[in-house]
Structure 1
Amino acid sequence: MAAPDRSPASSVRLERRTSDDPQVVALVGRYVAELDERFPGGFAVSGPDDLVDPGGHYLLATVDGAPAAVGGVRAVASPEGAAEVKRMWVDPAYRGLGLGRRMLTALEELAVEHGHRTVVLDTNRTLGEALSMYAAAGYREVERYNDNPYAEAFFRKEL
């Protein structure tokens, strides 16, 4: 496979997709595989139904038509009225292009479109690059808000 074009002239598109979109499912599957490699104890979902959230709203980023990043938002019960960023991942071949930050901003905008004024997210401390990006984007660390066994850091941002 040829290396992706990383020039400024590359065409980046963010598109809304359904949770069962084959490209969304494929990229989320690659995200899970990467976490399984990187987390000291591995990472697994309990089944195909847990791979993506059927109630979530997903975005797919493409670079020159090739799937490059994915992410979703969904409503959560706690904190009340908040949306949660889920399954945000950038293909390693496209890292360093600002796609993660662009995806996060677009997911925040999508949350606002769905009536949310607060966004939360969780992550594992192994993902240092994600921790840095969230801090730079104005997220502040908060107390645990869910029972995700893989999450070690919890963040919140008012939109």
Structure 2
Amino acid sequence: MLTVRAVAADSPAARGLLDEYFAMRAAGFPGGAYRTTYPDPAAFVPPAGVFVIAEDDAGAARGCGGIRRIPDGPSGLRYEVKHLFMQPSARGLGGGRIVLTALEAKAREFGAADLVLDTHHSLDAAAGLYASSGFAAIPPYNDNANATRWYGKPLT
């Protein structure tokens, strides 16, 4: 079973997972042009945002993700999901959904009208998770060079 807890985005556990995530994305990114950008820890401090890790029963960090406030959208207050990642050995166990559900709950707690995210079309499992969690394709809301798809979900 996985449990989720909030941590600083620059904590050792978060940094280790982000290092792994960025290395995997850079190694498998089409064209080899992945741009690594570590999150600004201040953007993930409540109520501006939150960063969480998913831990297994032994307390080992197995996944992570965060939300951060971005400029308001057409419906009002908007948060963005960032760096949702599960270690390969922890995939298929529902951990991605556990993390995403926790982040959505936090966004609601912070008063978000919408939750948005960007991703790359090569991440099929992520696209499936987002679709099954109620996210739908939206027009691009940023110029992230690593993204080819944008999704949103109304929370109000």
Percent of pairs identical after alignment?
36
Greater CA deviation, 142-151 or 109-118? 109-118
State whether structure 2 residue 57 is matched by structure 1 residue 67.
Answer: no
State whether structure 2 residue 11 is matched by structure 1 residue 21.
Answer: yes
Q: Alignment partner of 2:134: what SS?
A: coil
Q: Deviations over 1:15-51 (max 9, x none)?
A: 0111121100110111111111221123232xxxx31
Query: In structure 2, what residue type is equivalent to 1:26?
Result: G
The number of equivalent residue pairs is 145
Deviation at 1:122, TM superposition (A): 0.3
In 1, the alpha carbon distance for the partners of 2:144 and 2:35 equals 12
Q: Deviations over 1:46-100 (max 9, x none)?
A: xxxx312321210110012111010000000152410000011000010110000
In 2, the alpha carbon distance for the partners of 1:143 and 1:34 equals 27
Deviation at 1:132, TM superposition (A): 0.9
In 2, the alpha carbon distance for the partners of 1:100 and 1:69 equals 8
Query: In structure 1, what residue type is equivalent to 2:11?
Result: D
In 1, the alpha carbon distance for the partners of 2:148 and 2:142 equals 11
RMSD: 1.1
Consecutive unaligned residues of structure 2, counting only runs of 5 or more, are 45-49
Consecutive unaligned residues of structure 1, counting only runs of 5 or more, are 1-10
4+ long deviations beyond 4 Å: none
Aligned residue number for residue 91 of structure 1: 87
Match of 2:120 among 124, 127, 142: 124
State whether structure 2 residue 33 is matched by structure 1 residue 51.
Answer: no
Deviation at 1:117, TM superposition (A): 2.2
